[in-house]
Structure 1
Amino acid sequence: MSTSYAHLLPPSWKTQITQWIEEDVPSFDYGGYVVGETDQIAILYGKSEGVLAGVPFFDEVFKQLDCRVEWHISEGTHFTPIKKVAHVYGKARNLLLGERVALNLISRCSGIAYKSRLIADIQKAYGFKGIIAATRKTTPGFRLVEKYGVLVGGLDTHRMDLSAMIMLKDNHIWSQGSITKAIQLARSVGGFSLKIEVECRSEAEADEAIEAGADIIMLDNFTDRGLKDAAKSLKDRWRDKRQFLLESSGGITIDTVASYFNDNIDILSMSTVTQGVAHIDFSLKIQKS
């Protein structure tokens, strides 16, 4: 699989790259003084198995430092170590100035893409026709990179932020006293273009949410068996009466995801796609003269 999602990125992302470079060298670049300004070539090695992701971020780091990257594999490619992934051309000082920022970005992004790919492969093997999505449990300031990795790996990003979809959870419902009131208030400001999702802990709560017009019902923290029973019951009961999607979330991991596959479930969301993910080991080595 080979693809690029660079054109999805907002204008602000290049400013973030600038800020990350500034964070790493806020004053003097002492090591850069040592290596100087000679033209050099560095090799990017993939030292652990993974899926390449984060190419636009890596490119932009070195573009801002007047370096050029030549890739030998496409973004989205699965690779095994040790792999020569790219060559980077530029001044020795600039190569080392961008090294850690670029490696941090690509290691994290590729790790998420690799885990997403493994989960997508499980989905394909079992023939699950629903959607498997990440969640909003991402690293502050790094969400764009992490969600990008999810896309490259082949899973759904779910909502990107609080403005992308209205999700009503227990605290929202508590504030209004009922699911119905919370949905009515949310609809009054969200308009026709935003979907409303409601977190439900029981079939009774799900019934109320469906009746009130929720677009997506999240069955939260159900066991795999309990989920299947509830999903079938809800779909049977509301067939030809209401249109809605059923989502399952809570405690789903790469080891257990297959046990949640069900024809009555439309979406499985997993925070473990972006949390606790091993980074892919990359290194950047300047070729010796």
Structure 2
Amino acid sequence: MPITEGAPRHGNPANLLPPSWKKSISLWLEEDTPSFDYGGFVVGDRPAEARLLAKSPGILAGVPFFNEVFRQLDCTVEWHAKEGDEVGKEKKQHVATVKGPVRCVLLGERVALNLLARCSGIATKSDSLLSLLRKAGYKNTLAGTRKTTPGFRLVEKYGMLVGGCDPHRQDLSAMTMLKDNHIWACGGSIPTAVAAAKASAGFAVKVEVECLTEEEANTAIEAGADVVMLDNFTPDGVRVASKNLKDRWGRGVNARALIEVSGGLTEDNVADYVCDDIDIISSSSIHQGVKHVDFSLKVVPKETNGKAGSGDAAET
């Protein structure tokens, strides 16, 4: 079982985050309030309680980012749901409580909600596409791509993990992927490009080659590629090419290379590509243009002393 299907449900994916991620939260808070906080002046710093409500169904993801926003603003967060849980099936589900000075609660509100909504949307779409593939009989890995938002990649990759998918390479340094432009820049020679990649990256960095034909995939594997990507093949073309490649280069622990399939794969067509000889299906549809999960943060009116129902909380 890949870590992406084991960790989100049974481990803590927050333990994967590097120390540097908290700096991004500081920058996002600074971006949102670069000078005076006029609204904060209006409400003051009395103690307040606010309720995080899930208003549409989805997979909860992004808890560490939400927590850090309010930690930096001297607020506390108590969760009533766990990372990876399905939330929002009931109307305005109360999933967390934020406590702190009301000015600070409102300072963090929009940044925290935007992070949570986007990350949860990606987790939800990842989970949905993975479930579709499992129902179609696919047993191997579903991965995202590097088509992420600059400055927001860590959050988006984290959402893929919580949704049960492989985040693929984290950045250009994580794996050498030789695409058509790399091959063309090397005079059209796949062996030349693979040899250069192996020489520079050493034994610890895998090399993947994007292939437009079965012949190119054979050439790449023979040259030493660790992964070949069958790009923009038809479903029938994938079945034929992947079987031929496995027959020639081995399966399972004896395989010379992994086979990845990519190119325009969505919920509408991905099931057509399912076959036993594909190791990885990658799709940017699990993180590009996905629908956000709708959350809101409602301050409990002062006069209720925290006893109001979620429907009575004030709009913020």
Does residue 283 (structure 1) correspond to residue 296 (structure 2)? The answer is yes
Q: Equivalent residue for 1:139? A: 149
Does residue 215 (structure 1) correspond to residue 223 (structure 2)? The answer is no
Q: Equivalent residue for 1:149? A: 159
SS in structure 2 at match of 1:127: coil
| Structure-2 separation of matches of 1:258 and 1:34 | 54
Does residue 246 (structure 1) correspond to residue 259 (structure 2)? The answer is yes
SS in structure 1 at match of 2:268: coil
Q: Equivalent residue for 2:208? A: 197
Kept in 1: contact 2:141–2:279 (CA 8 A): yes
Q: Cα distance, 1:124 vs. partner?
A: 2.5
Does residue 47 (structure 1) correspond to residue 47 (structure 2)? The answer is no
Per-residue CA shift, 1:74-127, capped at 9, x if unaligned?
000012142101000001100000000000000000000001111121233233
| Structure-2 separation of matches of 1:136 and 1:103 | 24
Kept in 2: contact 1:202–1:219 (CA 8 A): yes
Kept in 2: contact 1:76–1:152 (CA 8 A): yes
**Comparing 38-47 and 240-249, the one that deviates more:** 240-249
Q: Cα distance, 1:2 vs. partner?
A: 6.2
Q: Cα distance, 1:6 vs. partner?
A: 1.1
Per-residue CA shift, 1:196-250, capped at 9, x if unaligned?
1000000111111011011101000001111111111222233389611110000
Q: Equivalent residue for 2:75? A: 67
Superposition pairs of residues 102-181 of structure 1, within 5 angstroms = 102-177=112-187, 178-181=189-192
**Comparing 118-127 and 95-104, the one that deviates more:** 118-127
Does residue 225 (structure 1) correspond to residue 233 (structure 2)? The answer is no
The one-letter amino acid of 1:34's match is V
**Comparing 64-73 and 255-264, the one that deviates more:** 255-264
Question: Which of 235, 247, 251 is equivalent to 1:236?
Answer: 247
- What number of residue pairs does the alignment pair up? 289
The structure-2 alpha-carbon separation of the partners of 1:84 and 1:242, relative to structure 1 and needing over 3 Å to count, comes to: closer
Q: Cα distance, 1:180 vs. partner?
A: 0.4
Q: TM-score, normalised by structure 2?
A: 0.89
The one-letter amino acid of 2:160's match is V
Kept in 2: contact 1:133–1:269 (CA 8 A): yes
Per-residue CA shift, 1:245-282, capped at 9, x if unaligned?
11000010022221111101100000111101001110
The one-letter amino acid of 2:203's match is F
| Structure-1 separation of matches of 2:39 and 2:256 | 61
Q: TM-score, normalised by structure 1?
A: 0.97
- Which 5+ residue runs of structure 1 have no aligned equivalent? none
- Which 5+ residue runs of structure 2 have no aligned equivalent? 1-8, 304-316
SS in structure 2 at match of 1:174: helix
- Among all aligned residue pairs of Structure 1 and Structure 2, give the percentage whose two residues are the same amino acid: 59
SS in structure 1 at match of 2:147: coil
Q: Equivalent residue for 2:46? A: 38
Q: Equivalent residue for 1:56? A: 64
SS in structure 2 at match of 1:157: coil
Q: Equivalent residue for 2:306? A: none
SS in structure 1 at match of 2:193: helix
Kept in 1: contact 2:249–2:257 (CA 8 A): no
Q: Equivalent residue for 2:97? A: 87
The one-letter amino acid of 1:168's match is L
SS in structure 2 at match of 1:135: coil
| Structure-1 separation of matches of 2:218 and 2:126 | 32
| Structure-2 separation of matches of 1:226 and 1:286 | 56
| Aligned CA-pair RMSD | 1.3
The one-letter amino acid of 1:76's match is G
